Amino acid sequence: MKSHNPIQDEDDGFSIDSMLDIVFLLLIYFMVTAAFVKEEADISMSLPSRVSQDEPLDMPEEQVLDILADGSVWLNGQPFDDATSATLPQLTRTLTRFRAAAEDAQVPAFIVVQAEDDAAHQRIIDVLNACAVAEISLVSFNLE
């Protein structure tokens, strides 16, 4: 005969109630602590634009750079920089402003270089470097 043990007769089933409680608590915890992605908003910022010039730049349509034998550089009849300056900062600034004005007017920035026969080749290279720094690529030589 079989003995009846009341402890063994009880169902050893797994109670799912406590597991559901824990799952819902974890779900609530993660929902509360989750960082929500912010939607795009209007960020007020000012983008760079053209700056108004301090002094007007009156440049004729034909830009002629004259290089004299003594090393002086003339742009449209006006002298620029010292004859010994290799970097030509005044000329570079003026050419940069000319290129910006030409871009605004939607015309190409074009320079004609006229060098005297006795002008040093290094001085011509200095002028071409100033044009390159000013981002002017349309340069022509006038041979007379």
Nearest residue to 141 (alpha-carbon basis) of 127, 130, 132: 127
Q: Under 8 Å CB-to-CB from 50, ≥6 apart: which residues? A: 100, 104
Residues 66-81: pLDDT tens digits?
A: 999 999 999 988 998 8
Q: 31-44 pLDDT, tens per residue?
A: 888 877 766 666 66
Condensed to tens digits (0 to 9), the pLDDT of residues 79-114 reads: 988 888 888 999 999 999 989 888 887 888 889 999
Instruction: State the pTM of this model.
Output: 0.57
Cβ atoms of residues 126 and 86 within 8 Å:
yes
- So where are the chain's domains? 63-141
Find all residues with CB under 8 Å of 97, minimum gap 6, and list them: 53, 57
CA 85 to chain centre: 30
CATH architecture of 63-141: 2-Layer Sandwich (3.30)
